[in-house]
Amino acid sequence: MNNYKIIKEHIDIDAVEGGTVKAQLELEKNAKYLIGIAITSDRDELAYHRGSQKILINDRELFPEGYETRLLMSGLNVSPDDRMASIGSIPTGNGKLDVWLTDSFHDYYPFAAYRIRVYAYSITEEPSAP
Amino acid sequence: MKTLVHTLTVTQTTKRQMFKISLPRNAKSIVGVMVRVRNVEKFNAEWRREFTGYYSENVGTVWMNASNEQGCFYSQDLNLLRDFYNQDFLKPINGFFFPNGEGWYHGKRDEFLSIDVPLKCHQLEGYFEGNVPFIFELESYEVKIYLKLSLS
């Protein structure tokens, strides 16, 4: 049985029209392995259609530039247990999660101020095999 | 494992657009593909409103080749997703949450198609052939190609 602790942290990023914004989340020092990412927004439809992001952990690329925000979002019709995008268990190293949020033009969804919230789920110990 | 994203910007006058994607030197095989179009929601909405049964739902066709020896490894007709579901029949309940509008939700989850294409060269080539009718006056739209690569 695993007796590690799951640490949930988040960072908010405000989108800039047609531009890219960088933010950095410093993970808690006890967080040893990053296991998942999830994204929510205060304007779901804008983040869904306009947003894309690049995510790096400890200079290791998790999601490349242009990776759409919609692929990491989930709605009410998804069970809470399934809302995190699993990424295996990646050592957190120096514990810095870098996120670049890019807003892209969309014909049908004009820009209005929106922010995304990036959740990082980490564990304190390496998960043991079942 | 590495994910790669390639974006093609397609104008409505484009008939066929060739593209080349450079892959990392240490890429061993392609293990997942997903192609989707962005910024065609206007087309989608107009289509829903002005359905005549005449226009095609097809946005275009994408075709990809990993090396000359293998031939085409991926080809797909990109169709508009009818992934908007109207929840207005629940108005008595969700009117509380959506007092000024209609309730819709997206019901399609984008997923990678699992494949296994060993790479003999580190360049991928292909084309996209657009098919959006002129009546919808889309200036441009994007085709996004997501590749999941296994690295050595």
Question: SS3 sequence, chain B?
Answer: CEEEEEEEEEECCCCEEEEEEECCCCEEEEEEEEEEEECCHHHHHHHHHCCCCCCCCEEEEEEEECCCCCCEEEEEEEECCCCEEECHHHHHHHCCCCCCCCCEEECCCCCCEEEEEECCCCEEEEEEEECCCHHHCCCEEEEEEEEEEEEC
Helices (H) and strands (E) in chain A, counts: 1, 8
Flag if A67 and B146 touch (Cβ within 8 Å). Answer: yes
Does the predicted TM-score (pTM) go above 0.90?
Answer: no
Q: Does B45 touch chain A (CB under 8 A)?
A: yes
What is the per-residue pLDDT for B82? Answer: 59
Alpha carbon of A16: minimum distance to chain B alpha carbons (Å): 18
- Among candidates B2, B7, B45 on the partner chain, residue whose Cβ is nearest the Cβ of A66: B7
Nearest to A47 by CA among A97, A96, A98, A118: A118
Q: Residue A32 has which token pair?
A: 């040893």
DSSP letter for A69, please. Answer: G
Q: What is the pLDDT of residue B54?
A: 45
10-residue stretch averages of pLDDT, chain B, 152 residues long: 92 83 92 89 63 62 79 84 60 60 62 89 89 72 93 89
CB contact under 8 A, A107 and B45: no
HSE-CB of B58 using CA atoms within 13 angstroms: 11
Measured in angstroms, the CA of B50 and the nearest CA of chain A are apart by 16
Alpha-carbon distance of A59 to A40, in angstroms, equals 24
In angstroms, rounded to a whole number, what is the distance separating the alpha carbons of residues A33 and A58?
A: 11
Q: Check CB contact of B97 with chain A, cutoff 8 Å.
A: no
d(CA A16, CA A101): 9
A66:B41 CB<8 A: no
> In the prediction, which pLDDT does A80 show?
87
Place of tokens 């947003």: A51
Q: Which residue of A has its CA nearest to B42?
A: A108
A68 and B3 within 8 Å at the Cβ level: the answer is no
pLDDT digits (tens, 9 = 90+) for A17-62: 999 999 999 999 989 999 999 999 999 889 988 999 999 998 899 9
pLDDT value for A119: 96
A115 pLDDT higher than 50 = yes
Residue B90: its pLDDT value, please? Answer: 62
Q: Containing H/E element for A51?
A: strand A51-57
Structure tokens at B132: 């959006």
